[in-house]
Amino acid sequence: MSDFEFVNAPTVDSAIEALAQWGNKACLVAGGTNVMVDIRAKKIKDGTLINIRDIESLKKITYTDGKVSIGALTIIEEIAKSEIIKQHAPCLFAAANVFADPTTNRSATIGGNVGNASASGDTIPPLMVLNAIVHLKSKRGDREVPINEFIIKNGVTTREPDEMITHFTFESQPNTGFIKLGARRSMTISIATVAAYIETDKQSGIVKDCRIALGGVAPKPVRGTNAEKVFIGNKLDEDTFTKAGEAVQNDISPRSPSVRATASYRRSVVPVLVKRAVKLAAFGECE
Amino acid sequence: MSLHEITLKVNGKTHKLVVKSNELLLNVLRDRLYLTGTKYGCGLAECGACTILNGDRSIMSCLVPAVVADGWEITTSEGLADGDKLSPVQEEFINQGAIQCGFCTPGMVVTSTALLRENPDPDEDFIRNYLRGNYCRCTGYAAMIKAVQVAAQRMKEEKNE
């Protein structure tokens, strides 16, 4: 086990104090499901772990005036069981329910999943279609960044070394859906994920607004803007789904060769996943 | 590197230890408290062989720096039995032939214990989902699911007596 220093931060104030003190060497750790593995893999060396696992104030899910707030240290298990999330953000609820496995989900936090910024991070596409805001805090002050601008590339975000994610906020969006394709059901890093938000005119069935986000199919989670344009102004029929499946090819850039699936396989399955995620968002089912 | 004084309550016994900042809880349990039932499998939180209980909740001890566990009340597979009397889960793993090479067994038994503390009346889907992160490379899953079902039944009957 490579060497590291360790600091306990039981409050937000002590955490941002420690971040300011240790600068580039600082590494926040809560559940450790990424950080401890990265230490073992020597991706993190000679760092100072700042243990934020016990900051209770960042573990809350609340709903007020149409707005949902999720503390960064909320564990995935809480999200997977939350009635608030089930009702107001079904896409995030679905992602939490297919995340890792029940024991891991008692350690892993949503702040860690987003902060780790993996191209396949399962909570990120749902937060993108929810238009979530990432709330950051440092000794210099508070900052808000839209999730859609937060991730620069795989593993890199706009978070400064002295900042920590405190919570996420977004407006209630019941008409969202999420689907994950992995090689198995448990502990699997996604081959591809799709989250969708859809708003249709009740009478005509024409799509008024749409957001699609995809994970695992580009160097970072991406918005499916070309596919979104196809949906808006059209009905959710086979013709639209076919055209969206073609358009989404310009949104994604799966690498080849890759560990979990070939680029051509990802390109083949993404249209199917987009269709299912949009149907889940619009109708609550995809069959 | 720094040293930290911690208190761990493991299987009902309190231990005061001085641990290094980079010492894993898993290694403290195995190498310093000689509780080798908890297994070092993948070391990457993939396999579940190192699962222990913190209170009633399962956690993988390969993910936890020992210093983080200061004050925790831990149960390892050694702490599930009441003296020489095995727990219903342990007994049914034996009765149902749910053990092959045995390496995953402590993690399976501990996770199954957490499962039954959370839900004393689980259906098969619940059990399959709950154990989905614990890997058995002998692939003896069917017998394990049966073991948890029979253990649940027995615990219910014992409670009603």
**Between the CA of residue A163 and those of A123, A157, A171, B19, B31, what are the distances in Å?**
20, 11, 24, 29, 37
A49-67 pLDDT per residue, tens: 999 999 999 999 999 999 9
Which positions in chain B touch A2 (Cβ < 8 Å)?
22
Q: Which of B46, B58, B134 is facing A106, going by the closest CB pair?
A: B58
Which positions in chain B touch A33 (Cβ < 8 Å)?
45, 63
Record: contact A104-B68, CB cut-off 8 A: no
Q: Can you tell me whether residue A182 is helix, strand or coil?
A: coil
Q: Residue A99 has what pLDDT?
A: 92
Which residues fall within 8 angstroms of residue A49, CB to CB, at 6 or more apart?
A4, A5, A6, A7, A27, A28, A29, A35, B21, B65
Cβ neighbourhood burial of B102 (10 Å; 0-12, 13-18, 19+)? exposed
Residue B70 near residue B127, CB atoms below 8 Å: no
Examine the pLDDT at A187 and tell me if it is beyond 80.
Answer: no
Domains of chain A: residue spans and CATH = 5-51 (3.30.43.10), 57-171 (3.30.465.10), 176-283 (3.30.390.50)
Which helix (H) or strand (E) element contains residue A134?
strand A133-138
Q: Give the C-alpha separation, B11 to A116, whole Å.
A: 35
Q: Residue A42 has what pLDDT?
A: 85
Higher confidence at residue A44 or residue A235? A235
Q: Residue B116 has what pLDDT?
A: 97
Torsion of CA B138, B25, A57, A110, to 10 degrees: -30
A4-28 pLDDT per residue, tens: 889 999 999 999 999 999 989 999 9
Sign of the C-alpha dihedral, residues A140, A143, A147, A148?
Answer: negative
Q: What is the ipTM of this complex?
A: 0.89
A36 touches chain B (CB under 8 A): yes
CA gyration radius, chain A: 19
Which helix (H) or strand (E) element contains residue A274?
helix A263-283
Torsion of CA A122, A113, A57, B115, to 10 degrees: 60
Q: Give the C-alpha separation, A130 to A132, whole Å.
A: 5
Q: Which of B21, B27, B114 is facing A6, going by the closest CB pair?
A: B21
Examine the pLDDT at A41 and tell me if it is beyond 90.
Answer: no
Torsion of CA A80, A81, A84, A89, to 10 degrees: 20
Which residues fall within 8 angstroms of residue B59, CB to CB, at 6 or more apart?
A103, A106, A107, B51, B52, B53
Residue A121 near residue A221, CB atoms below 8 Å: yes
Record: contact A102-B130, CB cut-off 8 A: yes
Between helices B105-118 and B88-95, what is the axis angle to 10°?
130
Which positions in chain A touch B148 (Cβ < 8 Å)?
none
* Residue A116's pLDDT band (cuts 50, 70, 90): very high
Record: contact A103-B60, CB cut-off 8 A: yes
Select the residue from A40, A101, A116, A188 to test the B interface by mutation, using most B Cβ atoms within 10 A: A101
pTM for the model stands at 0.93
Q: Give the C-alpha separation, A117 to A74, whole Å.
A: 17
Q: Give the C-alpha separation, A131 to A116, whole Å.
A: 19
Range list of H helices, A122-207? 124-129, 147-150
Which residue in A189, A206, A203, A198 sits closest to A279, CA to CA? A198
Taking CA atoms, what residue in B is nearest to A97?
Answer: B129
Domains of chain B: residue spans and CATH = 3-79 (3.10.20.30), 88-160 (1.10.150.120)
DSSP bridge partners of A198: A210
Q: Give the C-alpha separation, A123 to A110, whole Å.
A: 7
A62-103 pLDDT per residue, tens: 999 999 999 999 999 999 999 999 999 999 999 999 999 999
Sign of the C-alpha dihedral, residues A90, A92, A95, A97?
Answer: negative
Residue A267 near residue A252, CB atoms below 8 Å: yes
Give the phi and the psi of residue B14 in degrees, each rounded to 5.
-90, 130
Examine the pLDDT at A271 and tell me if it is beyond 90.
Answer: yes
Record: contact B48-A36, CB cut-off 8 A: no
Examine the pLDDT at A188 and tell me if it is beyond 90.
Answer: no
Angle at B103 between CA B99 and CA B105, to 5 degrees: 50
